[in-house]
């Protein structure tokens, strides 16, 4: 397994005029190629902050992030599904390509293909306002995938989906990600999702967060997220993570 | 179409009709009262004139005083000041938005300038720009610029912060963010500020004409006062009301066209 990057003793404090808010106390872990990592933790513990620092949107206060491979391309799907209301679905999906000036025929075809396979085929000329919350989230994901990133960074990508579509789309995404050999770092509130999707689950403590535990998920056989529910180890991990999250120290 | 839908549409139509007829009625009553009170000397006819006198004065102005060219002069000045005003406010708002520090520095001066009654600058403007049309346009600009800048700048600042974060996450350059986010996202606000801008421009132009001109509706009004012919003053005001109404409607029409695309 090739190491893509290492995070060492990451520490983050937000300063404002009147106070200093410690968001991350001490976090260290590695991200390996083709790994699917999920991060779970209490609300407000610093998960989005971690992703923001990793994707260079926010400065770290101390600690290091070492990139073992140069020019890693991050694709960051933000927690909010911010859409450009004045552009149609297709143009929203390709806004990243547009900004990076890589709107090649190949990339456009790739994006169109994604839109079709995520049930947005009949909505290409519609506007974001006409979409449901779930559709917007799928569109935001496609917008991120369109850039063909090396590492997908997802902040609660399925939070606005109902249970059925959540299962379906996480299955789809899992397939795509495995097919395209992508590396994923995903934040979720859903323990079930974390266990069924990932190779590694990182559990954080409450703010200022440190790492509570890291679980390498071992399965009898790796098939699809939906089937992983039936895996014999499922409830074992579930109980451990549940205990970590409800533990109050 | 269902029965309920039809009856709903009928109700809408009825309401529209009611509003329109009431508006016409108010106008007729107003004109009638004005004429009646003036004819019976209940209000001073010398000062308040009357609709019939206004009408005949307008006819006289048209035949003997070249009314059309006065109207065209005012319209031309308004048009130039309006176009210049929105262009300049747009550019200045962009500069203030891109250079936040500069903005912070000059903010108190902008506030001072904004609270200053611009007419007070009139004499100074005449000295600087000369007693000609330039002064009039300058005066109109002074009045519409500040409003324009503030409106457009506020539009820029009301953009969904999540969209700004999105552009940041896509590592968009400043120029790209300006062109693909800031401007299109505040397009609606900018278009909607045109309404206010046209009224402000007209105010500025008339004020300018009061001060310097030898032509235009503002000039006609001042001329009427000087020769103590208040029929001319009243006619000037009536023409001005009509012009401003038409300009306002025109801007709203353009707004609708632009926003529908
Ligand atoms: N830009 C910022 N400036 C100041 N404080 C911030 C900023 N962003 C986040 N915080 C604070 O840092 C802490 C962690 O926030 P963060 O968004 O990382 O939490 P989270 O784990 O993603 O929460 P959630 O599960 O609700 O999304 C919170 O207390 C938040 O108020
Ligand atoms: Mg978050």
Give dist(CA A18, CA A230) in Å, integer: 51
User: What's phi and psi for A214, nearest 5 deg?
Assistant: -125, 125
- Full DSSP string of A205-216: -SSSEEEEEEEE
Report chain A residues whose CB lies below 8 A from the CB of B181.
84
Q: Verify that A40 and A107 share a domain, yes or no.
A: no
In-domain check, residue A210: yes
Structure confidence by residue, pLDDT tens digits, A68-119: 988 889 999 998 888 999 999 999 999 999 999 999 999 999 999 989 988 8
Ligand 1 atom 14: residue of nearest CA: A46
pLDDT surpasses 70 at B7: yes
Check if the beta carbon of residue A233 is closer than 8 Å to that of residue A218: yes
Q: Verify that A115 and A219 share a domain, yes or no.
A: no
Strands A20-32 and A3-15: antiparallel
- Extents of the domains making up chain B: 1-43, 50-260
Q: Is pLDDT larger for residue A203 or for residue B118?
A: A203
Q: Kindly report the three-state secondary structure assignment for every residue of chain B.
A: CCHHHHHHHHHHHHHHHHHHHHHHHHHHHHHHHHHHHHHCCCCCHHHHCCHHHHHHHHHHHHHHCCHHHHHHHHHHHHHHHHHHHHHHHHHHHHHHHHCHHHHHHHHHHHHHHHHCCHHHHHHHHHHHHCCCHHHHHHHHHHHHHHHHHHHHHHHHHCCCHHHHHHHHHCCCCHHHHHHHHHHHHCHHHHHHHHHHHHHHHHHHHHHHHHHHCCCCHHHHHHHHHHCCCHHHHHHHHHHHHHHHHHHHHHHHHHHHHHHHC
For an interface test with A, the pick among B160, B164, B170 (most A C-beta atoms closer than 10 Å) comes out as B170
Structure confidence by residue, pLDDT tens digits, B160-174: 999 999 999 999 999
Report chain B residues whose CB lies below 8 A from the CB of A100.
170-171
pLDDT surpasses 90 at A177: no
User: Given this model, what pLDDT does residue A248 score?
Assistant: 67
Ion ligand 2: protein residues whose beta carbon lies under 5 Å: A 48, 79
B162·A86 Cβ contact <8 A: no
Shortest Cα distance, chain B CAs vs residue A193, angstroms: 25
User: Given this model, what pLDDT does residue A200 score?
Assistant: 94
- Identify the nearest ligand to the CA of A189 by its number: 1
In-domain check, residue A197: yes
Instruction: State the average pLDDT over residues B92-118.
Output: 89
Q: Verify that A98 and A172 share a domain, yes or no.
A: no
A86·B184 Cβ contact <8 A: yes
A82·B170 Cβ contact <8 A: no
Task: State both tokens at B200.
Answer: 């402000």
Q: Verify that A234 and A177 share a domain, yes or no.
A: yes
Give dist(CA B82, CA B240) in Å, integer: 17
When pLDDT is cut at 50, 70 and 90, the band that residue A234 belongs to is confident
Q: Is B174 on the interface with A (CB under 8 A)?
A: no
User: Given this model, what pLDDT does residue A66 score?
Assistant: 93
Q: Verify that A132 and A94 share a domain, yes or no.
A: yes
Q: Is pLDDT larger for residue B259 or for residue A131?
A: A131
Q: Verify that A242 and A199 share a domain, yes or no.
A: yes
Examine the fold and report which residue of A133, A148, A163 is the final residue of a domain before the chain moves on: A148
Dihedral sign of CA atoms A77, A78, A80, A81 in order? negative
Shortest Cα distance, chain B CAs vs residue A9, angstroms: 24
- Full DSSP string of A176-196: HHHHTT-EEEEE-S-HHHHHH
In-domain check, residue A91: yes
Examine the fold and report which residue of A97, A115, A148 is the final residue of a domain before the chain moves on: A148
Report chain A residues whose CB lies below 8 A from the CB of B184.
84, 86-87
Preceding peptide of A208 cis, ω within 30° = yes
Task: State both tokens at A96.
Answer: 């990243």
Ligand 1 atom 22: residue of nearest CA: A48
Nearest CA in chain B to A51: B169
User: Given this model, what pLDDT does residue B144 score?
Assistant: 92
In-domain check, residue A77: no
Structurally, how many domains does chain A consist of?
A: 2
Ligand 1 atom, smallest distance to A43 CA:
25
Nearest residue to A171 (alpha-carbon basis) of A97, A116, A98, A229: A229
pLDDT surpasses 90 at A63: yes
pLDDT surpasses 80 at B226: yes
When pLDDT is cut at 50, 70 and 90, the band that residue A249 belongs to is low
B169·A57 Cβ contact <8 A: yes
User: Given this model, what pLDDT does residue A181 score?
Assistant: 76
Binding-site residues, ligand 1, Cβ < 6 A: A 14, 21, 23, 41, 43-49, 79, 207
- Identify the nearest ligand to the CA of A245 by its number: 1
Q: Number of CB pairs < 8 Å for A and B?
A: 36
In-domain check, residue A39: yes
Number of CB atoms found within 10 A of residue A127's CB: 16
Q: Tell me, in angstroms, the distance from the centre of ligand 1 to residue A51's CA.
A: 11
Shortest Cα distance, chain A CAs vs residue B172, angstroms: 6
Structural Rg of chain B based on CA atoms? 24
Q: Tell me, in angstroms, the distance from the centre of ligand 2 to residue A156's CA.
A: 8
Q: Is A72 on the interface with B (CB under 8 A)?
A: no
Give me the percent of chain B exceeding a pLDDT of 90: 72
Q: Is A243 on the interface with B (CB under 8 A)?
A: no
Give dist(CA B252, CA B261) in Å, integer: 15
Question: Which pairs count as long-range contacts for B186-190, CB under 8 Å and 24+ apart, including other chains?
Answer: B186/B152, B186/B155, B186/B156, B186/B158, B186/B159, B187/A86, B188/B155, B188/B259, B189/B151, B189/B152, B189/B154, B189/B155, B189/B158, B190/B90, B190/B151, B190/B152, B190/B155
CB nearest to A82's CB, from B163, B171, B184: B163
Q: Hey, what CATH topology would domain B50-260 get?
A: MetI-like fold (1.10.3720)
pLDDT surpasses 90 at B117: no
In-domain check, residue A78: no
- Identify the nearest ligand to the CA of A155 by its number: 2
Report chain B residues whose CB lies below 8 A from the CB of A86.
184-185, 187
Specify the CATH number for the domain of residue A207. Answer: 3.40.50.300
Instruction: State the average pLDDT over residues B218-242.
Output: 93
Instruction: State the average pLDDT over residues B39-65.
Output: 92
Model confidence, pTM? 0.83
Lowest mean per-residue pLDDT among A220-224, B23-27, B133-137, B252-256: A220-224
Check if the beta carbon of residue A245 is closer than 8 Å to that of residue A41: yes
Examine the fold and report which residue of A148, A164, A184 is the final residue of a domain before the chain moves on: A148
The DSSP secondary-structure symbol of A72 reads P
Give dist(CA B133, CA B213) in Å, integer: 7
Q: Is B167 on the interface with A (CB under 8 A)?
A: yes
Q: Kindly report the three-state secondary structure assignment for every residue of A109-150.
A: HHHHHHHHHCCCHHHCCCCHHHCCHHHHHHHHHHHHHCCCCC
- Full DSSP string of A31-55: EETT-EEEEE--TTSSHHHHHHHHT
A95·B170 Cβ contact <8 A: yes
Q: Verify that A143 and A202 share a domain, yes or no.
A: no
Q: Verify that A238 and A131 share a domain, yes or no.
A: no
Helix orientation angle between B187-212 and B217-226, rounded to the nearest 10 degrees: 30
Give dist(CA B235, CA B224) in Å, integer: 9
Q: Which domain holds residue A92?
A: 85-148
Q: Tell me, in angstroms, the distance from the centre of ligand 2 to residue B133's CA.
A: 59
Q: Is pLDDT larger for residue A166 or for residue B87?
A: B87
Structure confidence by residue, pLDDT tens digits, A19-58: 999 999 999 999 999 899 999 999 999 999 999 999 999 9
When pLDDT is cut at 50, 70 and 90, the band that residue A203 belongs to is very high
Shortest Cα distance, chain B CAs vs residue A97, angstroms: 9
Ligand 1 atom 3: residue of nearest CA: A14
Q: Is A73 on the interface with B (CB under 8 A)?
A: no
Q: Is A88 on the interface with B (CB under 8 A)?
A: no
Structure confidence by residue, pLDDT tens digits, A122-155: 999 999 999 988 888 889 989 999 999 999 999 9
């Amino acid at each position: 397994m090739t190491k893509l990057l290492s995070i060492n003793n990451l520490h983050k404090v937000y300063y404002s005029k009147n106070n200093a808010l410690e968001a991350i106390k001490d976090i260290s872990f590695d991200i390996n190629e083709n790994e699917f990592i999920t991060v779970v933790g209490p609300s407000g513990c610093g998960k989005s902050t971690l992703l923001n620092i990793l994707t260079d949107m926010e400065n770290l206060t101390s600690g290091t992030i070492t990139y073992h491979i140069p020019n890693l391309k991050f694709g960051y799907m933000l927690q909010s599904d911010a859409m450009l209301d004045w552009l149609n679905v297709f143009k929203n999906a390709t806004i990243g390509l547009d900004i990076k000036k890589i709107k090649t025929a190949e990339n456009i075809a790739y994006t169109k293909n994604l839109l079709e396979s995520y049930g947005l085929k009949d909505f290409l000329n519609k506007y974001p306002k006409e979409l449901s919350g779930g559709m917007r989230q799928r569109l935001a994901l496609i917008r991120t995938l369109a850039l063909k990133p090396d590492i997908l960074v997802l902040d609660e990508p399925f939070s606005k989906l109902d249970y059925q579509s959540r299962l379906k789309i996480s299955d789809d995404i899992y397939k795509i990600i495995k097919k395209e050999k992508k590396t994923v770092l995903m934040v979720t509130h859903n323990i079930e999702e974390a266990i069924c999707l990932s190779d590694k689950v990182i559990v954080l403590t409450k703010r200022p967060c440190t790492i509570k535990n890291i679980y390498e998920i071992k399965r009898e056989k790796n098939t699809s997220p939906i089937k992983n529910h039936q895996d014999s180890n499922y409830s074992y991990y579930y109980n451990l993570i549940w205990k970590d999250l409800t533990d109050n120290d | 179409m269902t029965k309920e839908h039809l009856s709903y549409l009928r109700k809408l139509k009825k309401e529209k009709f009611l509003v329109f007829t009431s508006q016409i009625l108010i106008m007729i009553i107003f004109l009638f009262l004005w004429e009646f009170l003036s004819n019976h000397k209940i209000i001073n006819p010398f000062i308040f004139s009357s609709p019939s006198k206004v009408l005949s004065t307008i006819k006289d102005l048209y035949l003997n005083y070249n009314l059309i060219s006065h109207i065209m002069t005012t319209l031309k000045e308004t048009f130039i000041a309006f176009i210049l005003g929105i262009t300049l406010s747009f550019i200045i708002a962009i500069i203030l938005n891109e250079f936040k520090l500069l903005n912070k520095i000059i903010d108190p001066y902008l506030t001072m300038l904004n609270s200053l009654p611009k007419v007070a600058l009139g004499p100074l403007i005449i000295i600087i720009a000369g007693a000609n049309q330039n002064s009039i346009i300058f005066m109109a600009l002074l009045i519409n610029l500040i409003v324009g800048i503030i409106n457009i700048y506020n539009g820029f600042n009301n953009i969904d912060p999540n969209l700004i974060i999105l552009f940041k996450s896509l590592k968009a350059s400043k120029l790209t963010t300006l062109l693909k986010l800031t401007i299109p996202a505040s397009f609606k606000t900018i278009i909607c500020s045109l309404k206010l801008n046209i009224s402000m421009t007209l105010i500025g132009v008339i004020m300018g004409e009061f001060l310097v001109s030898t032509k235009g509706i503002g000039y006609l009004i001042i001329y009427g006062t000087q020769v103590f012919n208040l029929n001319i003053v009243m006619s000037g005001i009536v023409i001005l009301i009509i012009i401003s109404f038409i300009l306002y409607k025109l801007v709203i029409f353009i707004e609708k066209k632009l926003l529908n695309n």
